[in-house]
Chains A and B, each alone.
Chain A
Amino acid sequence: MIANYGYKDGSGEYYISIDTDKCIDCAAERACLTACPKNMFEIITDDYDDEVAWVKKECTRALAYDCAGCKPAAGYTSLPCASACTPGAIKHSW
Chain B
Amino acid sequence: MNAEVAAATAPEKKEFWRWQENTWFDESKNWKDAKIITCGIDVGSVSSQAVIVCDGELYGYNSMRTGNNSPDSAKNALAGIMDKIGMKLEDINYVVGTGYGRVNVPFAHKAITEIACHARGANYMGGSKVRTILDMGGQDCKAIHCDEKGKVTNFLMNDKCAAGTGRGMEVISDLMQIPIAELGPRSFEVDEEPEAVSSICVVFAKSEALALLKAGYTKNKVIAAYCQAMAERVVSLLERIGVEEGFFITGGIAKNPGVVKRIEKLLGIKAVDTKIDSQIAGALGAALFGYTLMQKQGAKAA
Q: Which residues of A contact B (CB under 8 A)?
A: 1-5, 7-10, 13, 15, 47-48, 60-61
User: Is B236 a contact partner of A8 (Cβ separation < 8 A)?
Assistant: yes
Q: How far is the CA of A4 from the CA of B141 in the complex (A)?
A: 13
- In the complex with contacts A7-B160, A9-B160, A13-B240, A2-B116 CB distance below 8 A: no
The answer to the question of B156 belonging to the interface, with a C-beta cut-off of 8 Å to chain A, is yes
User: Is A47 a contact partner of B153 (Cβ separation < 8 A)?
Assistant: no
Residues in B with CB closer than 8 Å to A3 are 154-155
Q: Which of A4, A10, A47 contacts B240 (CB 8 A)?
A: A4
User: Is A4 a contact partner of B151 (Cβ separation < 8 A)?
Assistant: no
A–B complex contacts, Cβ < 8 Å, 7 sampled:
A3-B154, A4-B154, A4-B155, A4-B240, A9-B161, A47-B116, A48-B151
User: Is B200 a contact partner of A47 (Cβ separation < 8 A)?
Assistant: no
Residues in A with CB closer than 8 Å to B160 are 7, 9, 61
The answer to the question of B128 belonging to the interface, with a C-beta cut-off of 8 Å to chain A, is no
The answer to the question of B115 belonging to the interface, with a C-beta cut-off of 8 Å to chain A, is yes
Q: Which residues of B contact A (CB under 8 A)?
A: 112-113, 115-116, 151-161, 200, 236-237, 240-241, 289
Interface residue SS majority, chain A? strand
Residues in A with CB closer than 8 Å to B113 are 47
User: Is B154 a contact partner of A1 (Cβ separation < 8 A)?
Assistant: yes
Residue with the highest number of chain A CB atoms closer than 10 Å, among B158, B159, B241:
B158
Taking the closest CB of chain B, its distance from the CB of A79, in whole angstroms, is: 20
Residues in B with CB closer than 8 Å to A60 are 159
Taking the closest CB of chain B, its distance from the CB of A59, in whole angstroms, is: 12
User: Is A10 a contact partner of B200 (Cβ separation < 8 A)?
Assistant: yes
Taking the closest CB of chain B, its distance from the CB of A67, in whole angstroms, is: 15
Q: How far is the CA of A89 from the CA of B154 in the complex (A)?
A: 13
User: Is A15 a contact partner of B116 (Cβ separation < 8 A)?
Assistant: no
Residues in B with CB closer than 8 Å to A1 are 152-155
Q: 4 new A-B pairs (CB below 8 Å) besides A15-B156, A47-B113?
A: A2-B153, A4-B154, A7-B160, A8-B236
Whose C-beta in chain B lies nearest to the C-beta of A9? B160
Q: How far is the CA of A40 from the CA of B155 in the complex (A)?
A: 19
Pick the 4 closest A-B CB pairs, nearest first.
A47-B116, A4-B156, A7-B160, A2-B154
Taking the closest CB of chain B, its distance from the CB of A48, in whole angstroms, is: 7
User: Is B236 a contact partner of A47 (Cβ separation < 8 A)?
Assistant: no
User: Is A8 a contact partner of B116 (Cβ separation < 8 A)?
Assistant: no
User: Is A48 a contact partner of B158 (Cβ separation < 8 A)?
Assistant: no
Q: How far is the CA of A83 from the CA of B236 in the complex (A)?
A: 29
Q: How far is the CA of A7 from the CA of B164 in the complex (A)?
A: 13
Q: How far is the CA of A61 from the CA of B139 in the complex (A)?
A: 14
Q: How far is the CA of A61 from the CA of B235 in the complex (A)?
A: 20
Taking the closest CB of chain A, its distance from the CB of B286, in whole angstroms, is: 10
User: Is A8 a contact partner of B154 (Cβ separation < 8 A)?
Assistant: no
Q: How far is the CA of A48 from the CA of B289 in the complex (A)?
A: 10
- In the complex with contacts A47-B112, A47-B113, A8-B237 CB distance below 8 A: yes
Q: How far is the CA of A1 from the CA of B158 in the complex (A)?
A: 18
Residues in B with CB closer than 8 Å to A13 are 240
Q: How far is the CA of A5 from the CA of B240 in the complex (A)?
A: 12
Q: How far is the CA of A8 from the CA of B153 in the complex (A)?
A: 21
Q: How far is the CA of A8 from the CA of B235 in the complex (A)?
A: 12
Whose C-beta in chain B lies nearest to the C-beta of A19? B154
- In the complex with contacts A10-B200, A15-B156, A48-B151, A4-B116 CB distance below 8 A: no
Whose C-beta in chain A lies nearest to the C-beta of B199? A10
Residues in A with CB closer than 8 Å to B289 are 47
Q: How far is the CA of A48 from the CA of B241 in the complex (A)?
A: 21
Residues in A with CB closer than 8 Å to B157 are 4-5
